[in-house]
Amino acid sequence: MSEKCLVESLKSLLKEQKFAVLASIHEDVPYTNLVGFAATEDLKYIFFVTSVATRKYSYLITSQKASMMIDNRSNNESDFKDAMAVNATGKVMEAEKTDDIKNVYLAKNPYLHDFLLSPSSALMRMEVKSYIVASKFQNVVKIDMS
């Protein structure tokens, strides 16, 4: 698959899938959560929302290191040859809830409007350093974003 086709497949996956598994770290112990997310068109940023009164928020603010796994598996045998899984790695920080960012997030997650606007919630931004794309069972390609 050409790099252009791979990037288009990645963009399509990030648009279609509503959830990602977010992995953060605390005292060398991994911690995972399911999050609703939205990515920018240029793939440089992934946004998600969390309550500030969570381990997730505390761990991310402390370490700023995280990864997200997004996939399109259907839990069928065909996934071994057809599924695509992406691991995005990068630095996570709290983002200002500007209109532009809110629009990106709410275009994909309109049902999370009240959660996003809640004063007890934080809009988090991952600056993606790389995507590792696995497809066709063992075809793995890294895309550097820097």
For the chain, list the domains and their CATH numbers. 3-138 (2.30.110.10)
Residue 9 has a pLDDT of 92
| CA 94/CA 97 separation, integer angstroms | 9
Give mean pLDDT, residues 111-118. Answer: 96
Give residue-wise pLDDT tens across range 28-78: 999 999 999 999 999 999 999 999 999 999 999 999 999 999 998 887 887
Give mean pLDDT, residues 112-123. Answer: 97
Question: How far is the CA of 43 from the CAs of 27, 29, 49, 79, 113, in angstroms?
Answer: 29, 28, 18, 25, 22
| CA 92/CA 89 separation, integer angstroms | 9
pLDDT at 86 over 80: yes
Which of residues 136 and 111 earns the better pLDDT score?
Answer: 111
Residue 139 has a pLDDT of 85
Enter the pTM of the model. Answer: 0.93
- 119 three-state secondary structure: coil
Which of residues 115 and 83 earns the better pLDDT score?
Answer: 115
Residue 1 has a pLDDT of 66
Min mean pLDDT across 19-33, 66-80, 82-96 is at 66-80
For 29-58, b/e burial (b = at least 16 CB within 10 A) is eebebebbbbbeeebebbbbbbeeeeebbe
Q: Radius of gyration (Cα) for the chain, nearest Å? A: 15
